[in-house]
Amino acid sequence: MKTIGILKNSIQEYAWGSYTAISQLLGKTVPSDKPEAELWMGAHPKAPSQVYYRNQWVSLLKLIETYPVDILGKETADKFSNKLPYLFKVLAAETPLSIQAHPNRIQARQGFEKENREKIPINAVNRNYKDNHHKPECICALTPFWALNGFRPINEILEHMKKVCPNALEPEREHLRDHPDSQGLKYFFQSLMTMEPERKNAVVDMAIRHAEKMSSHAPAYQWMVKLSNEYERDVGVFSPVLLNLVCLSPGQAMFLPAGELHAYLEGVGIELMANSDNVLRGGLTPKHIDVEALLEVLNFEGREIEILTPRMTGKAEGVYDSFAAEFILSVITVKEGVAYTGPLDRSIEILLCIDGEAGILGAGEKDPITVSKGMSVVIPAAVETYGIKGNAVLYKASVPV
């Protein structure tokens, strides 16, 4: 395959999804019949995109298997075993997703092999590792986007926990005050996660009563109350005071490396991630939670979050700095007098138009492909170069080369 192809993508319907956001993007009937949570663009075996190729719709996964070097480029094909290394998404969260973390490469390989030895079926509810890959990811806001990302600095955790639990968790808080380091934070978090049900219920109830009184003072307390309304007596309601609470403005992004406990709470965003299914959950979910496995992968270093904005590499493209070998996210804005020319040295790229209309013309092709809001295309590595003209905003997923 050596030509640009229009994509047809799958929508994942999860309970936390939106009835409006993805439908509006795609120009479909609003509201949708079911909550639409994610639009997947890529070659994930669960739901690969379809490419319009030689007058028919063909699975991008199958096309890559058939033409790996043409589509991926030799370097990417060799490095990632003839597989597309990323999954590109639109994520629409009407209600909060589960608190979760992802393993690094070594942890993923060891965890996958361990569960294989234990003969846990790949689709079992208690399976943590679906593959042997890590899963760094990047989220970029299309609307105001609320999220949790990594543990707060320990002094902030202690301050918030004292306010919401003034008469509870004294031994645990005292231990963290005496050991304000990663081991102390690990012990504190493990203590919360393993409380006896009766004590947990009493502590959570107390915390929410105090959070309600303070909810007008800080978003963290507002979110504790919101989470409690969704997941009553779930220890995950503490997450807004344990983790960094972030509201990304449209166009802002953040990177989530392996081992960082996080959750997406509300909003619509572009998500780009390594092509893995490995998730270890820590709350706000009816799904399987393996505390022991979660503790093994978490980073317990309190930190502040770096908010990413696009770094302009030309008049039309802004790149979000990537810390992953699998992907780079960028935004392309074309208008009158400002066109875009694709790089000569590149791998496979997937482009999604989120606003306006533009023509994409590949080298050697006679007619441009017209894309408008909600349309996406795949540009194989074998397309020597391409240009975009019009009046549009597009997000681009690519592979570092």
Q: Would you name the residues annotated as active-site residues?
A: 281
Question: Contact at 8 Å (CB) between 231 and 284?
Answer: yes
Question: Contact at 8 Å (CB) between 339 and 386?
Answer: no
Report the alpha-carbon distance of residue 107 to residue 156 in Å, rounded.
Answer: 29
- Distant-in-sequence, close-in-space partners of 115: CB < 8 Å, separation ≥ 6: 127, 128, 129
Report the alpha-carbon distance of residue 385 to residue 191 in Å, rounded.
Answer: 56
Alpha helices in 136-244 (DSSP H): 154-164, 170-178, 182-193, 197-214, 219-230, 239-242
The two structure tokens encoding residue 156: 């902030």
Question: Contact at 8 Å (CB) between 349 and 398?
Answer: yes
Measure Cα distances from 62 to 43, 65, 83, 202, 330 in Å.
Answer: 8, 5, 10, 54, 26
Which DSSP string corresponds to 305-344? PPPB--EESSSSEEEE----SS-EEEEEEEBTTB-EE--S
Question: Contact at 8 Å (CB) between 292 and 111?
Answer: no
What number of other Cβ atoms are within 10 A of residue 216's Cβ? 8
